[in-house]
Each structure stands twice: as C-alpha cells, then as structure tokens.
C-alpha cells in the first residue's frame, strides 16, 4: 500500500529531486541573475560558475534546471564525469543547444574536460543561437583569453561561487536534524562549505556520543579530500598541499625549506588550484581543505606529520629571529599558527584580524588622541601611566588602529630598561614589583637589560582579539630577537583569565595584583637567561609535532644565572677538576647558557672543551705568555702540586701563584664574555 508521501510522486527520481529542492538554501543572487536571463533579459548568453569542489556547483545547476523547466525551457545537461573529453563526444551530447533558441545547456564538472576550453570558446559556443543560454560550471575560472576578448566581455558572466552565509549554513544544518548544541561547533568547522556541512551534519545527527567540540573523523576527512582535492600528480604535490595546510600561509621560500626539490613548480601548481587563495603573505587553502588535509596526514603518517612540522617550525622560527620591526608580528603570528591545535593557544589567538586592525609606530601627534582612548577604555590612572611613558619613551610605542575608521583601539609599549630611575619607579606602579622580583631572584649582570610590556586596549578588544594577537606577537617577537635580554615582564589586565595560557608559553605569574581604577592588573615574567630563545623555540616546536592536544616530551630543567663572583668561583673549581672528569658533572657552569649553547650533548664534556679553548685563547695573547704557562702547568700537565708546577717552570712559588691567578682571571673573563654577550647559534633545521 502506498503512503501519502509516495503518492505525491510518480517516480523515485521525482522524490529525490523534491528532497533536493527542500534542502537547497542560499544562492539568491545567482538565482536572480539566472531568472532574469530566462525572462528574456538577453544581457548575456554564457554564465561561467567556478569554485572549489563541494562548494555547491552541481546543486546550483540542478536548481537552474528546475527553474528553466518551470519557465518552459528545454534543458540539456553534460557532465564532465561521463562525457568523453573530445569535441565530437561533447557535441553529440550538447548539440541540441545549437538547434533551438530557447534551449538551456548546463555543463557540470567542466574541469574534467578542461582541454576543450579553447574549442568551446572558439568553435562551439559561437554557433549557439541568440536566446539560448549556456551555463558552464567547474573548479577553475575561465582563463584570461575569455575575459580579455571584447566580444566575449559582452556575452559572458563569470560567477565565483562562495561559501554560504552563516545564516544560510545554519538553515542547512537545522534541516538535517543536528542537535542544537552541535550546530555552532559544526558551523565553526565547516565555515559555510556545503559539502562539509552536509557530511558533518550526517555524522552529528546519527552519533549520539558526539561532543560539543567538533572533530573531523578520518572517514569524513577522506571523503572531503576525494571530493575537494581529488587526485594529485605525485607524492611531491601531495606533500606541498600538506605544507600549505599546516602553515598559515605558504611562500616558495617556505616550500623550499621543507621540499628542496622543485619548490618553484610546486608553488606554481598550488596557486592554480581552485581551493587555494592568496594574500600579501602567501598562499592558503580553504579552511575545510586545510582541516581535512591536516586530519588525514596526522592519522595516515604521524611520523611524516612530525617531520613536516619540525621543518616548518624551524624555518619560521629562523624568520622571526631576523625579522625587522615591521615584519616581526606577522612572522610571530605565523609561528604561533602551527600550534592552533594544542588546546590552549587557539583560545587566546584568533588569527582573524589581518586587515581588521593594524599596527603602526607611535607618533607624537598621536598622543592626545591615544591618551583619550586610554582614559575612556581603562580610566584616568591607566591614562596617567601611558602619558608618562609616551612623553619619556615615545619610540617604544605602537598604536593599533581600526582599519575601517582609523580610530585607535589599542596602545602597546615595549620598554627596554637597564636600571629604572626613581622617577620611573614612582610613576608606574607595575615597575616596582618587577624590579623587586629581579633583585630577589636573579639580578642583572653587566650589559643585560629588562623589557616591560604594557598594553591599553578598548573594551571590545580587551579579551582574545585581533589587537591582543598583535600585542602578543610583538612582545614575544621582541624577546626572540633581543640581544642580552635578561627579564621580560608583561602587564596583563584581568590576569587570572590569562594565567594558564601564559604559563603554557613559559611566562610565570608573579602573583602581583594591583588595582588601577576599576581594573585589576597582574605581572607575568620570563627569565631569558634561564630558558633562552633557542630553548624556548625548541620546546615550542616539540609541542606541536604530534598534532592537536599533543603532550610535549619532558622539558629540560632551567638554566642557572650566576653572578660574576659565582661564575669566577665556578671557573676556578672547574679548572681544578679538569684531571677528574666526573667532578665536572656537578659544576654550576654545566647549567649555564654558555654550556647549553655548546654542540656537545654531554654538559661535562662541553665544559671541558670550553675551558681548554679559553686557555688556548689566553695563550694566543703575547701579553699573557707567563700566565698561560702557569695555567697549563697547574691544570693540564698532570703535576701533583702547585709547587711541582712552579719548579717545572723555574719560578718561585709566589711568582707562580701570581701568574696562575692572572691566568685564571683571563680564562674566566673570556668565558664570561661568551656567557653574557654572545648569541648562541640556532640549532640546524631537522
């Protein structure tokens, strides 16, 4: 017995089409253009629709067919999946459009017969009668020969098909029976991409165990890749796609760092793909393609994923270290982007503000406008802090402006200090606790300095936001590029909400809480002598190499920061222990920046080599011949006592000890210079 629903249709095909019609959402502009042409508008004869796989081209063409039939038009369809890509085969299927004025020809999946584009343009379409309409849909846009020809310019309309608007996407997943708590996570994942929305909705509607944190299942990822990407020419092309998916943006330089062979041709291939877009920083894929490629590689080849991550991370870290002032925030943002899946970083960085706000150096003429913004946003006490520093250190400030309005929405200071004055300590209440912490824990050594980061932001951007992205990227970028930076401090409004995130990146809460007006501020710190820029970057890189939620390997213990007297004492102790290798293991120097930067993995062996090298350098100084001889005789010649060493050199013991003390001072001085002033070399790319 037929149900009432079955009785509405004479065939299964009709029922399928009716379901498709009910599920169709959006595309109002495209449908309006098509309907106007069906209504004898006659403004053009060929409509060329292009967009990445799964964006809804086939669904739109099916809707065009329904509209055309309803308008009394004869519809002819050609599908690139089934037609032989030859002129004869194509014309055999599409030839009816050449004989009737009111025929509508719909050509789908044209990328599979793209080689016919020239013949279609020059031979076939010019024969189509006026009044007929041809729609071509494919992944690739028409080449410039279509658009540069003034004849085709009059009769061709090109439509790039975009993702659905948020309200249209929500309408689609509502119709699929997705639970209300899963709709927003699914929408965030799919980003308006129809195929991803439909696949995700099918999974979410049936999986009662689905969590509100949407994750891309490997079967869904494979289906998306099959539909969106399809076959690629070679494994090298596949790896280039995976690099493009992992990095925020991809340049030919980045490809060369990861795939040294054929980076140029691979980059050119990437930029021609329909789901790849570009901006001033490089190429990037549609987010659905990015997520699918990432999920597939992590599941299919975890070791390959880790290797790729290490190489990209090493390249981007090196770029941060050499970036200029203007380029540093973007370079740091690209490095942080590799860690968007760690479960922490993406909650405090959005990478969505490129163009929405921008950073520019502070100018004296900005001062009145910026201080008004600070007073309105954070109160008069914070404005007084900003007023003091902008008058005293204007070169240390950056202004964040809303690109659309030009209005300031943020102000950031990066204050570099060697020893604050009494006036500075009195003017900024956050500076005193920072300096007290330095004195109580690890004071500055000669040539070292401290940096204090402060930011004043309008309420709309005071949490995670494009402005705070730029503040973070600027601050960490400054730390990684600095020379002889000891301590870095960050003053944070609402510190408790930032504590876990900053601890994740090794900025420690000093438990300082100060009120300025209605706001509470906290102080976070990092000693860059204990965990150097190189060690920080290495630790960061390890965290991301296994994909989202990866657990980092055990982290090495921090370095020691020795005062000059402590350092000299450790050098003397180490020299006395040179003949006993095991005794060097516990020497304080083995946990200094000096030894950590040595290529030897064994700290004791590294210290031995550094000491011997320093002694050799002392010997190269003609003014220190006697001192060098005393050091060598006492510690490198295996004599039992200093008296025996003095006798070997033919010196009175008092004279020998004077030369020995001078030699040890020179050895310590050379090692101290390396500890404090020299920048360790970055580790080679993996």
pLDDT tens per residue across span 421-478? 899 999 999 999 999 888 888 888 888 999 999 999 998 888 888 899 999 999 999 9
Count of CB atoms situated within 10 Å of the CB of 405: 8
pLDDT of residue 549: 46
Residues 487 and 385 in one domain: yes
Q: Which among 155, 136, 138, 162 is positioned nearest to 28, based on CA atoms?
A: 162
Q: Is residue 124 part of a domain?
A: yes
The domain tally of the chain equals 4
pLDDT of 65 higher than 80 = yes
Q: Is residue 21 part of a domain?
A: yes
pLDDT of residue 685: 44
Q: Find the mean pLDDT for residues 232-257.
A: 93
pLDDT of residue 268: 93
Domain's final residue, options 140, 160, 180? 160
Q: Are 259 and 243 in contact (CB under 8 A)?
A: yes
Comparing 38 with 209, the larger pLDDT belongs to 38
pLDDT band at 551 (very low <50, low <70, confident <90, very high): very low
Q: Please state whether 512 falls in left (phi above 0), alpha (psi between -120 and 50) or beta.
A: beta
Query: How does DSSP assign 615-638, residue by residue?
Result: HHHHHT-GGGHHHHHHHHHHHTS-
Structural domain harbouring 176: 166-215
Residues 109 and 150 in one domain: yes
Residues 141 and 192 in one domain: no
pLDDT of 220 higher than 50 = yes
pLDDT tens-digit map of 90-99: 989 888 889 8
pLDDT tens-digit map of 334-387: 999 999 887 788 788 877 655 688 899 999 999 999 999 999 999 999 999 999
pLDDT of 61 higher than 60 = yes
pLDDT of residue 3: 47
pLDDT of residue 581: 66
Q: Which among 125, 161, 220, 209 is positioned nearest to 31, based on CA atoms?
A: 161
Distance between CA atoms of 178 and 204, rounded to whole angstroms?
6
β 103-108/276-279 pair status: unpaired
Q: Is residue 662 part of a domain?
A: yes
pLDDT of 223 higher than 70 = no
Tokens, residue 423: 């006036």
Q: Are 193 and 25 in contact (CB under 8 A)?
A: no
pLDDT tens-digit map of 17-39: 676 666 677 788 888 888 888 87
Count of CB atoms situated within 10 Å of the CB of 646: 22
pLDDT band at 550 (very low <50, low <70, confident <90, very high): very low
Distance between CA atoms of 142 and 50, rounded to whole angstroms?
8
pLDDT band at 539 (very low <50, low <70, confident <90, very high): confident
Distance between CA atoms of 514 and 543, rounded to whole angstroms?
33
Residues 437 and 502 in one domain: yes
Residues 587 and 533 in one domain: no
Q: Are 579 and 638 in contact (CB under 8 A)?
A: yes
Q: Is residue 323 part of a domain?
A: no
Query: How does DSSP assign 549-573, residue by residue?
Result: TPPPPPPPPPPP---HHHHHHHHHH
CA distances from 315 to 237, 440, 537 (A): 20, 38, 11
pLDDT of 276 higher than 90 = no
Tokens, residue 78: 């050609």
Quickly tell me which residue has 């003397």 as its tokens: 572
Domain's final residue, options 160, 175, 194? 160
How many CA atoms, within 13 angstroms, populate the side-chain half-sphere of residue 231? Answer: 4
Q: Is residue 383 part of a domain?
A: yes
Q: Are 398 and 362 in contact (CB under 8 A)?
A: yes
**pTM attached to this predicted model:** 0.66
The pair phi, psi for residue 446, each rounded to 5°, is -55, 135
Give 461's strand partners: none
Q: Which among 541, 507, 544, 536 is positioned nearest to 524, based on CA atoms?
A: 507
| Low-confidence winner among 133-142, 173-182, 246-255 (lowest mean pLDDT) | 173-182
Q: What angle do CA 355, 254, 275 make, to 5 degrees?
A: 60
Comparing 281 with 9, the larger pLDDT belongs to 281
Residues 462 and 479 in one domain: yes
CATH (domain of 433): 3.40.630.30
Distance between CA atoms of 272 and 615, rounded to whole angstroms?
60
Q: Percent of the chain having pLDDT more than 70?
A: 88
Residue 429 makes CB contacts below 8 A (sequence gap 6+) with 385, 514, 516
Strand, coil or helix: what is 374? helix
Tokens, residue 500: 């876990």
Tokens, residue 28: 């109002």
Residues 598 and 666 in one domain: yes
Residues 442 and 507 in one domain: yes
Distance between CA atoms of 203 and 211, rounded to whole angstroms?
12
Q: Is residue 238 part of a domain?
A: no
Give 519's strand partners: 516
Q: Please state whether 27 falls in left (phi above 0), alpha (psi between -120 and 50) or beta.
A: left
Q: Which among 453, 436, 531, 528 is positioned nearest to 489, based on CA atoms?
A: 453
pLDDT band at 211 (very low <50, low <70, confident <90, very high): very low
Residues 527 and 580 in one domain: no
Distance between CA atoms of 300 and 222, rounded to whole angstroms?
11
Residues 76 and 170 in one domain: no
Distance between CA atoms of 342 and 626, rounded to whole angstroms?
58
Tokens, residue 486: 């000891």
Residues 505 and 379 in one domain: yes
pLDDT of residue 600: 81
Q: Are 89 and 119 in contact (CB under 8 A)?
A: no
Residues 103 and 196 in one domain: no
Q: Find the mean pLDDT for residues 324-333.
A: 91
Domain's final residue, options 515, 544, 573? 544
pLDDT tens-digit map of 485-498: 999 999 999 999 99
């Amino acid at each position: 017995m037929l149900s009432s629903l079955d009785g509405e249709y004479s065939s299964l095909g009709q029922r399928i089409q009716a379901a498709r019609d009910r599920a169709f959402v959006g595309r109002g502009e495209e449908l309006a253009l098509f309907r106007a042409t069906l209504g004898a508008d006659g403004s053009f004869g060929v409509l060329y629709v292009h967009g990445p796989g799964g964006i809804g081209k086939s669904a739109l063409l099916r809707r065009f067919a329904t509209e055309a039939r309803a308008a009394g038009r004869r519809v002819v369809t050609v599908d690139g999946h089934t037609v032989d890509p030859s002129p004869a085969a194509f014309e055999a299927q599409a030839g009816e459009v050449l004989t009737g004025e009111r025929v509508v020809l719909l050509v789908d999946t044209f990328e599979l017969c793209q080689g016919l584009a020239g013949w279609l343009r020059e031979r076939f379409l010019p024969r189509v009668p006026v009044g007929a309409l041809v729609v071509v849909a494919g992944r690739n846009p028409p080449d410039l020969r279509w658009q540069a020809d003034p004849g085709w310019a009059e009769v061709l309309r090109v439509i790039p098909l975009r993702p659905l608007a948020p309200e249209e996407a929500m309408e689609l997943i509502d119709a699929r029976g997705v639970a209300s708590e899963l709709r927003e996570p699914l929408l965030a994942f799919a980003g308006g991409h129809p195929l991803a929305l439909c696949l995700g909705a099918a999974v979410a509607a049936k999986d009662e165990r689905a969590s509100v944190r949407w994750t891309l299942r490997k079967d869904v990822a494979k289906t998306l890749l099959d539909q969106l990407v399809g076959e690629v020419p070679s494994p090298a092309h596949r790896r280039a796609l995976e690099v493009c998916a992992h990095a925020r943006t991809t340049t030919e330089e980045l490809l060369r760092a990861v795939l040294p062979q054929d980076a140029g041709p691979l980059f050119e291939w990437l930029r021609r793909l329909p789901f790849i877009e570009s901006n001033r920083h490089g190429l990037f894929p549609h987010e659905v393609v990015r997520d699918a490629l990432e999920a597939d590689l992590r599941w299919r080849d975890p070791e390959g994923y880790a290797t790729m991550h290490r190489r990209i991370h090493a390249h981007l870290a090196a770029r941060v270290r050499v970036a200029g002032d203007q380029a540093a925030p973007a370079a740091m943002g690209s490095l942080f982007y590799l860690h968007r899946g760690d479960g922490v970083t993406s909650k405090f960085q959005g990478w969505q503000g490129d163009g929405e706000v921008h950073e520019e150096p502070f100018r004296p003429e900005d001062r009145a406008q910026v201080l008004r913004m600070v007073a309105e946003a954070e109160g008069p006490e914070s404005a007084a802090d900003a007023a003091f520093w902008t008058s005293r250190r204007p070169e240390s400030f950056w202004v964040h402006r809303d690109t659309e309005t030009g209005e300031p929405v943020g102000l950031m200071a990066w204050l570099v200090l060697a020893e604050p004055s009494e006036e500075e300590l009195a003017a900024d209440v956050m500076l005193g606790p920072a300096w007290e912490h330095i004195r109580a824990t690890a004071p500055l050594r000669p040539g070292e300095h401290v940096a204090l980061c402060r930011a004043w932001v309008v309420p709309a951007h005071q949490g995670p936001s494009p402005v705070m992205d730029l503040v973070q990227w600027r601050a960490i970028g400054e730390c990684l590029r600095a020379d002889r930076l000891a301590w870095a401090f960050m003053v944070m409004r609402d510190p408790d909400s930032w504590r876990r995130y900053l601890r994740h990146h090794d900025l420690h809460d000093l438990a300082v809480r100060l009120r300025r007006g209605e706001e509470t501020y906290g102080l976070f710190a990092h000693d860059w002598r204990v965990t150097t820029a190189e060690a920080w970057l290495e630790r960061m890189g390890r965290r991301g190499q296994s994909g989202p939620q990866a657990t980092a390997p055990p982290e090495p213990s921090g370095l020691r920061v020795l005062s000059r007297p402590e350092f000299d004492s450790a050098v003397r102790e180490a020299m006395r222990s040179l003949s006993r290798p095991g005794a060097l293991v516990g020497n304080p120097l083995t946990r200094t920046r000096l030894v950590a930067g040595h290529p030897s993995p064994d700290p004791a062996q590294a210290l031995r080599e550094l000491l011997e090298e320093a002694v050799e350098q002392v010997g190269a100084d003609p003014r220190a011949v006697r001192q060098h001889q005393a050091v060598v005789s006492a510690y490198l010649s295996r004599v039992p006592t200093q008296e025996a060493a003095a006798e070997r050199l033919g010196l009175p013991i008092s004279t020998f000890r004077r030369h020995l003390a001078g030699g040890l001072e020179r050895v310590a001085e050379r090692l101290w210079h390396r500890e404090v002033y020299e920048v360790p070399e970055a580790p080679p790319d993996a």
